[in-house]
Amino acid sequence: NKFQAYEGLTVPLFPNLITQASPYAWVGMSWFDTVEYQMRHMDRLFGEVQRRNATTFEVTPEANAQFRERMSKL
């Protein structure tokens, strides 16, 4: 198992957990670009949670594996 986080923010098996400065979080330009990217992702995430009237969110292991596979090919 390697350190990983879906789009640098969420980790499978840890519902409602958001991390920063996680693996795959850095966009390569600057800290500010990274934070802006993560805030956009969080905005989409919380918008979807609200739209679904949900109380929890969690990335699936399958989605995380697909994301990690895409990142390993870059």
Note the pLDDT of residue 63.
95
Q: Give 61's pLDDT tier (boundaries 50, 70, 90).
A: very high
- Averaged pLDDT, 38-48: 94
DSSP 13-66: T-TT---SS-TT---SS-HHHHHHHHHHHHHHHHHHHHHTT-S-----HHHHHH
In contact, 7 and 41? CB cutoff 8 Å = yes
Note the pLDDT of residue 60.
95
Note the pLDDT of residue 1.
62
Adjacent-strand bridge partners of 6 = 10
Is it the case that residue 18 has pLDDT exceeding 90?
A: yes
Instruction: Report the distance separating Cα 50 and Cα 68, nearest Å.
Output: 27
Q: Give 23's pLDDT tier (boundaries 50, 70, 90).
A: confident
Helix/strand/coil for 70: helix
